[in-house]
Structures are given as C-alpha cells and as structure tokens.
C-alpha cells in the first residue's frame, strides 16, 4: 500500500445567499464529501456538471470565495491543513490544473506565467531553463514561450497547463475538468499525461463529469450525487452488467451508457437546497427501505471501497 497523500474527511461547503430583502439562507452545495488519494494513484471524482464538484479543488487550495463556509478536515500527508498551510504548499507540493486557459492572464506571455514570481535575474534564468525543459517534454517548442494564451489551440493550452503544474515537481496534482471541449485525439493525449504522472509516483485527483475519461485512467472512482460521495468504486467494478457496483445510482449510471444498454432511469438529482431529509437518492431508488426516507446513511467503509447505503450495513 502506497502512502496516503490527501485525505478529505466529511467536507461540506455552503454559501450565504440573500433570498428576499435582507433575509439570508445557508445554501449547502457539498454536504458530505470523503475521499483519499495515495501516491501513484489516480482517483476520479465523477459528478454531473454544475453539481459543485469544482469547489472541492478550490477548497483544497484555499481559494474558495469569501462567502463560502468550509467545514470538515482536509489533510495532506497526515497533517490537517489550515488556510495558511494551504497557501504555503500550493504550487509546490500540490498543484492545480485549472479547467481552461481562461484561468491564465490574457496579457502575459506563456513562459512568464509558467515561471511565476522570481526574486532576481539569476533565479529567473534558472527557472527558465527548467521551464524550457519541461515544455520540451510536452512538445511545446520555443515559439510557445512568447505566445499569449489566446494564440494557443485547445491541445496546446492543455499541454501548457499540465507542464506548468508539473514545473514545481508536485507530489499531488488536482485536475479540474481537463477534458471537455477537446477532440478525441487531444483527450487521449491529456489522459496519457496523467498516466505518466502516475508512473512517476504522483497522486492525481481528477475531477470530471466524463465517465469515459474516468474509466480510462482512474484506479478508483468516487461518485458524487446531490452533494454527497455515495460510492467509491474500483475501476474494475465497472464491467459486465455492473453487478460489482454497489450503489443503485452507480449501477443506473453505468447501464445508461450507450455501450451498456442505454437503459432509462426516471427522476432527477435534487437541486441544491432541496435535498430530502433522508437518503438523497430515496425517490429514485428501487431497493429503498422505510428508514431511508427519514435517516441519512453514512459512508460505509468496505476495505478499498466505500458506499453510502443502508443495504450494505452488514458488509457486501
């Protein structure tokens, strides 16, 4: 067993929102998120777009907006991270690959952004050599250094973001939706970058809505539903008729894929702020019990896997 890098335990994130006049309400977007990433492991968090899963990345790096409330613990290397710790290690031990080049400064040349802040000319020269070397590994020629973000194609932009994140030799990389809007070839190339990081012993947390991408590279997959992690399954469980998957939602999701039967399941995810009292999947569940409408199931630990469902209280 490799060393654990990141431990996210019972994290919840809510926002103060004005409803009418000066009335406020506390809107929970993430209610209970628990997961962990080890060295040389790729863990994917799979959730539908707009479900708030990007906030997880922002919480790890301490870049949530000011009106957000964060509770629960985020540990790195066994140590609970405070906001100050996060500011200290981000960009060094942990690095973020943002969603798009929109996160770059549009008026700054690519190499200057990749290098970042430097104290003096010597340091700048040193970093520049390092940057050139890593850009070369990712097939980015010297001409890219002097380009501005708008001049990059989708695939190049992705390579710039990946190589910039790797510049500081991080131990953990968090990638936020790295695949949408890219064609098949570029998606494949991007996913190969993550495979390579894994080979180099880097832990990768992949936040995505693309189940194909997740299945292609992840070792384990966490399923995010209505603000909860409802299951953490191993990649190999997503096979056959999905009989090794535990949670009914994960099974339904797997069987809805065009290649696995395109099976229809009714209902929709509850909206933020409308999550029922009991299990968030209660109204769509085929195997629900009486208590499911009243009581919220906890995440049950089953060795390498986890599931949030009363059915598995006594094991699988």
Partner 1 sequence: MELIGKNISFKYSSSKGYLLKDINVKFSNDKIFGLVGDSGSGKSTLCKILSAYIRNYEGNVTLDDNNLPKKDFCPVQLIYQHPEKVMNPKWKMIKILSESWNVDEDLLSEFGIQNSWMKRFPQELSGGELQRFSVLRALNPMTKFLIADEMTTMLDAITQVQILESVLKIVKDRKMGFLLVSHDMDLVSTICDDIIYLKDINNV
Residue 197 or 218: which CB sits closer to partner 1?
218
Task: Centre a 10 Å sphere on the Cβ of residue 262 and count the other Cβ atoms it contains.
Answer: 9
Residue 120 or 184: which CB sits closer to partner 1?
184
R_g (Cα) of the chain, nearest Å = 21
Residue 53 or 171: which CB sits closer to partner 1?
53
The verdict on 269 binding partner 1 (CB under 8 A) reads yes
Query: Is residue 240 exposed (0-12), middle (13-18) or buried (19+ Cβ within 10 Å)?
Result: exposed
The verdict on 263 binding partner 1 (CB under 8 A) reads yes
| Contacts of partner 1 in 130-149 (CB under 8 A) | none
The verdict on 2 binding partner 1 (CB under 8 A) reads no
The verdict on 258 binding partner 1 (CB under 8 A) reads yes
Q: What are the counts of helices (DSSP H) followed by strands (DSSP E) for the chain?
A: 8, 12
Listed residue (297, 167, 284, 303) closest to 229, CA to CA: 297
Among 77, 91, 154, 276, binds partner 1 (CB under 8 A): 154
Residues 108, 176: Cα–Cα separation, whole Å? 22
Hey, is 85 helix, strand or coil? helix
Residue 254 or 310: which CB sits closer to partner 1?
254
Least spacing, CB of residue 199 vs partner 1, in Å: 28
Whether residue 209 contacts residue 46, with contact meaning beta carbons closer than 8 Å, is answered with: yes
Among 20, 21, 259, 286, binds partner 1 (CB under 8 A): 259
The verdict on 267 binding partner 1 (CB under 8 A) reads yes
Least spacing, CB of residue 166 vs partner 1, in Å: 25
Least spacing, CB of residue 21 vs partner 1, in Å: 18
Q: How many residues appear in the chain? A: 316
Residue 173 or 309: which CB sits closer to partner 1?
309
Return the DSSP state at 81.
P
# binding residues, partner 1 (CB under 8 A): 30
Q: Whole-angstrom distance between the N-terminal and C-terminal Cα of the chain?
A: 23
Which span (76-84, 157-165, 227-235, 248-256) binds partner 1, by CB under 8 A? 248-256
CA 199 → CA 116, 174, 208, 265, distances in Å? 27, 16, 21, 38
Q: What's the token pair of residue 142? A: 């010297």
- By rule CB under 8 A, what string of x and - marks binding of each residue 158-187 to partner 1? ----------------------xxxxxxx-
Residues that bind partner 1 (CB under 8 A): 48-51, 154, 180-186, 209, 211, 252-254, 256-259, 262-269, 271
């Amino acid at each position: 067993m490799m060393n654990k890098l990141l431990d996210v335990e019972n994290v919840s994130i809510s926002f103060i929102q004005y409803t009418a006049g000066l009335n406020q309400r506390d809107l929970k977007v993430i209610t209970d998120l628990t997961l962990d990433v080890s060295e040389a492991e790729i863990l994917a968090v799979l959730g539908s777009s707009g479900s708030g899963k990007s906030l997880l990345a922002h919480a790890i790096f301490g870049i949530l907006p000011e009106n957000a409330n964060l509770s629960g613990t985020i540990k790195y290397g066994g140590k609970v991270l405070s906001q100050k710790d996060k500011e200290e290690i981000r960009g060094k031990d942990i690095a973020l690959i943002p969603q798009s080049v929109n996160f770059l400064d549009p008026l700054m040349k690519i190499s200057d952004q990749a290098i970042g802040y430097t104290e003096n000319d010597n340091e700048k020269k040193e970093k520049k050599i390092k940057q050139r070397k890593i850009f070369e590994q990712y097939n980015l020629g010297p001409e890219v250094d002097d380009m501005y973000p708008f001049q990059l194609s989708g695939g190049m932009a992705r390579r710039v973001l990946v190589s910039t994140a790797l510049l500081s030799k991080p131990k953990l990389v968090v990638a936020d939706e790295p695949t949408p809007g890219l064609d098949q070839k570029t998606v494949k190339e991007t996913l190969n970058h993550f495979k390579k990081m894994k080979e180099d012993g880097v832990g990768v947390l992949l936040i995505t809505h693309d189940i194909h991408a997740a299945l292609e590279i992840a070792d384990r997959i966490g399923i995010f539903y209505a603000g909860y992690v409802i299951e953490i399954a191993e990649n190999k469980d997503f096979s056959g008729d999905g009989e090794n998957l535990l949670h009914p939602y994960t099974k339904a999701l797997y069987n809805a894929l065009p290649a696995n039967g395109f099976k229809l399941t009714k209902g929709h995810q509850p909206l933020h702020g409308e999550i029922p009292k009991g299990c968030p999947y209660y109204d769509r569940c085929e195997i629900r019990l009486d208590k499911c409408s009243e009581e919220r199931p906890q995440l049950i630990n089953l060795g390498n896997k986890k599931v949030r469902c009363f059915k598995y209280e006594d094991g699988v």
